[in-house]
Structure formats: C-alpha cells, structure tokens
Amino acid sequence: MNRYNLTRLDGYNPFPGPLVLVVMDGVGIGKRDESDGVYLAHTPVLDALYQEPLFAELKAHGKAVGQPSDEDMGNSEVGHNALGAGRVFAQGALLVNEAIASKRIFEGAAWQSIRDHAQAGGTVHFMGLLSDGNVHSNIQQVLDLLDQCAVDGFPKVRMHILTDGRDVGERSALGFIETLEAKLKACSEGGRDYRIASGGGRMVVTMDRYGADWGMVERGWNTHVLGEGRTFASAAEAVQTYYDEDPKVNDQFLGEFVITESGKPIGTIQDGDAVILFNFRGDRSIEISNAFEEIEFEHFDRKRVPAVFFAGMMQYDGDKFIPKNFLVEPPQIEGTLSEYLCGAGLTSYAVSETQKFGHVTYFWNGNKSGYIDQKLELFEEVRSDVIPFEQRPWMKAAEVTDAVIAAIKSGKYKFIRLNYPNGDMVGHTGVPDAVRIAVSSVDLMLARLLPVIAAQGGMLLVTADHGNADLLFTEKKGKRETHVAHTLNPVPFIVKDYSSANRFTLTGVEAPGLSNVAASVMNLLGFKAPENYDPSLLKVGA
C-alpha cells in the first residue's frame, strides 16, 4: 500500500508542459551595491523575473534550514534537504551540539570502541576541517571531544587538519591552529601526548566530493595515513610558509604538510589505531571514508591500509552505510517531495554537473541514494571539469541546459529540477570578475530555457539554496576584505507560468523559507500538500 498519497487540489486545471525548477546555487539577494556580485553581473533575464507578480524572498540560513542559530549561514546540503523535504529538520551542527551537551555522544558504541583502542595502546586520530564555519564542522565540537579524550585518559592523540578559507575568512587558519594548539597543550598534561600531525587546504587534500577529483583524496591519504608530503616543524610554520611563498594563496589551496620530529612523521596511522572524521556534513566526507573502509578499492593505490577503527561524526550516506561506524545519528527524513510525487505516478528528471549532482538527488531526497522509483525518475550527471573554477566560471552550465532542453522537448517528465553550481563554486574563489561571469552564465542559460518552457506550455520556478555570489567583500574600519563564504541573505522564489491554465497568487506566508517550496511545487502540479509540510507560498485563485 502506498504511504504517500496526495489529494487533488480543488479548482485546479492541468497544464500541458512540465514544471521546471531551477536552483541557482549561491545566488542570493544582496545589497544591490558594489559588494553584490549578482547585482553587478549582466542579468537581464533575472532582472525581469524579479518583477514577476509571483515573487518572494525566502530565508535560507539559520533556524529556517535547521541550523543552531540565525547567525549560522545556510549551505547546499541543508538547503536542498529543506527544498526536498518540505519541512525543517535539525541538521548536522545542531545534532552534534546536542549530542555533546547531553554527553550522549560518549555513551554510544562508537566512542566505546575508540576508548577500547586507546586503552589498548592505539593512537586516536582526528581528521577534518578546522574552522568554525558550521558548514562541514565546528572547531568547538572538536575541542569538546578532545576534553573527553583527556578525561578518558587517552594517552596519544593526533590531529590531521584541513584549512578552510571558504566558509570563514580567507586566511584565518593560523587563529584556529593557535586555539587548537592551546587545547592540545592543556590536554597533554599528566604525560599525555596530543599534537597536530598533518594537514593541508580543503581544496587540495582529502575533501573531494562526487568523484570529481580523486587525486585530492589520494594526497590526503598519503599525507595523513602515510606521512608523505612536505615536512615542517609545526602546523603554524607550514601555513606561514605557504603564505610567504604565495601572497595570494588562501587557506583553501594550501599545500599538504606533514609534521616531523628528528626527521620522522609524528602521526602516521597504524594498525590498532582509531580514526575519527569530525566533519558532520556528508558530501566531502564520503570518499575519504571509502578509502578507509572499502576492501576492493580502485580509485588509487593506497600503498598501505592500516587496520583501524574508523568512525565519522555522522553517517554520511544512510543507504550505503558510509561509514559503518559513527558518533551521532543523522536526521531521519521521510516523506520527501519526491516520494509523494512518485506515489502520485508523476515522472521527474534531475540533473546537474558533478559538483552539485548529489544535491539534486541525494540531499533533495532526504539523504538517500538512488532512485525512489526508477520507472518514474531519471537522474543525469554532467561531469565537472577538474580545473580552478575562477578559470572557467561558466562551468558546465551550457551542457546542463542542453540536457534540460532535451528533457523538456521529450515530453516524458512532468517535474524537472536542476542546479546551476556557478554562483556558489565560483563565489567561493572570491575573484570578482569570475563571479560576475558565473552569474551572467546562469542568466544566459535561463534565457535559453524560457522559450522552450513557453513553447511546451510549462511553468518555471526559480530559487536558490543559499547566498554566496551576492557578497564579494565586507568592510572593516575602511578596509575591504574579500568574502568567500556563504551569506545570510535571502534567496528568490519566482514562478513564471506559461500555461495560463490556472491563476496562482501568493498566500503571504509569514517569514517564508526554503521549506515552503515543496508544498508550492505540489500545488503547481495540482496536489494539496500533506498536513505536516510547511505551507505553500501559493494558492489557486485570487
């Protein structure tokens, strides 16, 4: 029996074409001044769409997407969860904070196994993004875990840190390292030995996603596990050296580094050790998890595979059980928009390039891999280029658009969703000219889509998952600082109806957010939203 039944919307008339939902990743609504890369870009199509009567601004950060506070930026993971689930679920940062505060995290089987390995003489290794960005990780959570390591008497702990420069300031790594070193020194009292062993920039080592560049993961493996890489006496020395050698480099792109003493690495990973990947976000944690856990591993030569207990902060893929062991349960999301649409027998098509393919599939579907009903759905990935995004800011927008146009013209799909990654991926580079080109590229692709949707008598829905390109710099005491992180700005919600089958109006939902989009999609497709969904932004009739 189908659990996901939908009721037809009263007074609704079917329309011939598809509903096409465009997620302009990282394209928020900024101040419309010289700091706003979206405003500065050439966007005649978006400018016109912003004048549509069915236009609203949506919250895409903080509590509106399940983050701990409204000071926390949104991100693509939580944004697509909210878009696809139609409700707000407590997300990684909040779940981990609660588990640490309640001490529940230290009562589970995973921490007990880590404790057992430490008591048996194994080293406990922490690996992850050292930052307070609260997108992939939070340094305070790591400091809390280190305190517990000391309380539990773990004799030896090693840190393998990835510098951020993307969700936080471009060159903020030294401050985070100073904070971490102070904690490690305090925890080393009483004969314990807690130190930083290796690291590197997040866009150079370890944190690849969606198989875009396995070479990053290989460099991470060689650095963290094998102790192979450029050597330094300390993490601070490594970072400062890279700064001095290239005044333009930011923390995302620092080279790998290995800390040595008397010519030997101080923290290689050996048999009998325990490894904790302290990132709570999944997309950039899965590949390194696979490198530790897969027996038949084909992506690179690991050279040596230590027998360790490996645990993630969370389980990053619940369908594929990656990793097998984890410290905190991820949000359980059932009854997604896709499940309801499949239950109603509607066909759908999802596409993006590699960098955001998992967002319109895995995250959209409540952190579940694969199809809900392969007879009704098709997912298509356009392989991303492996090149710095500022060097090719148009990315694969044209190829994604080609695929969408073909899907529209095929007449096979009633609901089509796509993600243009440009505003986010190029926004993170902080290169103003590239950001403007990236946003203009998305606008040009909308110009290609609109007449095709119109010819089929379809509808267009445009939104974004969070802001990024809408803030190029901030000013402090008269000095400009490049901004490369996500923003707290709202994002657009725009409906352009080419069918004329129905007259939709805005409902005036108070403080609308991304979670209101799913119910709106259901209404546009002729269905009432489930009672537990956040309300639709639209209604049929005046």
Q: Which CATH number is 185's domain given?
A: 3.40.1450.10
Q: 432 lies in a domain? A: yes
Number of continuous H segments (helices) and E segments (strands) in the chain? 16, 20
* DSSP 8-class letter at 303: S
Look up tokens 């619940």; give the residue.
318
Specify whether 58 is located in the same domain as 198: no
Amino acid at 510: E
Q: What is the pLDDT of residue 145?
A: 98
d(CA 528, CA 11): 11
What CATH number has the domain bearing residue 437?
3.40.720.10
Helix (H, G, I), strand (E, B), or coil: what is residue 482? strand
Residue 387 exposed, middle or buried by CB count within 10 Å (0-12, 13-18, 19+): exposed
Specify whether 404 is located in the same domain as 321: no
3-state secondary structure 131-194: CCCCCCCCHHHHHHHHHHHHHCCCCEEEEEEEECCCCCCCCCHHHHHHHHHHHHHHHCHHHCEE
Q: 315 lies in a domain? A: yes
Reference 230, options 213, 242, 217; nearest CA is 242
Helix (H, G, I), strand (E, B), or coil: what is residue 248? coil
Domain boundary among 263, 293, 328: 328
Specify whether 375 is located in the same domain as 490: yes
Specify whether 257 is located in the same domain as 387: no
Asked if 343 and 3 touch (Cβ cutoff 8 Å), the reply is: yes
Specify the DSSP element, H or E, that contains 21.
strand 19-24
Specify whether 114 is located in the same domain as 196: yes
Reference 280, options 514, 67, 490; nearest CA is 67
Q: Which two tokens stand for residue 449?
A: 């889509």
Active-site positions read: 76
d(CA 427, CA 482): 11
Domain boundary among 262, 296, 328: 328
Specify whether 126 is located in the same domain as 83: no
Q: What is the pLDDT of residue 542?
A: 59
Helix (H, G, I), strand (E, B), or coil: what is residue 348? strand
**CB-CB neighbours of 481 under 10 Å:** 13
Number of folded domains in the chain?
2
Asked if 491 and 64 touch (Cβ cutoff 8 Å), the reply is: no
Q: What is the pLDDT of residue 1?
A: 44
d(CA 507, CA 509): 6
Residues pairing with 482 in the sheet: 473
Q: 9 lies in a domain? A: no
Q: 8 lies in a domain? A: no
Q: What is the pLDDT of residue 2?
A: 67
Asked if 474 and 35 touch (Cβ cutoff 8 Å), the reply is: yes
pTM beyond 0.95? no
Supply the range of the domain harboring residue 208: 93-328
Asked if 327 and 313 touch (Cβ cutoff 8 Å), the reply is: yes
Contact residues for 401 (Cβ-Cβ < 8 A; gap 6+): 445, 448, 449
Judged by phi (left if over 0) then psi (alpha if -120 to 50, else beta), residue 315 lies in beta
Contacts by 361-365, CB closer than 8 A, 24 or more apart: 362/282, 362/283, 362/317, 363/76, 363/77, 363/80, 363/81, 363/84, 363/283, 364/80, 364/81, 364/83, 364/84, 364/336, 364/337, 364/338, 364/417, 365/84, 365/336, 365/338, 365/339
Q: 194 lies in a domain? A: yes
Q: 424 lies in a domain? A: yes
d(CA 53, CA 71): 30
CA angle 349, 24, 209 (to 5 degrees): 75
Specify whether 439 is located in the same domain as 340: yes
Reference 129, options 167, 76, 81; nearest CA is 167
Q: What are residue 496's phi and psi, to 5 degrees?
A: -120, 115
Specify whether 175 is located in the same domain as 296: yes
Specify whether 270 is located in the same domain as 344: no
Specify whether 346 is located in the same domain as 319: no
Q: 1 lies in a domain? A: no
Q: 11 lies in a domain? A: no
d(CA 64, CA 58): 9
Gap between the terminal Cα atoms of the chain: 37
C-alpha pair distances (Å), 446 with each of 9, 46, 71, 415: 29, 8, 32, 17
Specify whether 64 is located in the same domain as 157: no
Specify whether 127 is located in the same domain as 261: yes
Domain boundary among 307, 328, 349: 328
d(CA 483, CA 471): 6
Amino acid at 419: N
Beta-strand pair 264-265/257-261? antiparallel
For the chain, 542 residues long, the average pLDDT of each consecutive 10-residue run is 85 96 98 97 98 98 91 90 95 92 96 98 98 94 98 98 95 98 97 98 94 96 98 98 97 98 97 98 93 96 98 85 91 92 97 95 91 97 95 98 98 98 95 98 98 98 97 89 92 96 95 98 98 96 68
Q: Which two tokens stand for residue 98?
A: 């609660």
Specify the DSSP element, H or E, that contains 114.
helix 109-119
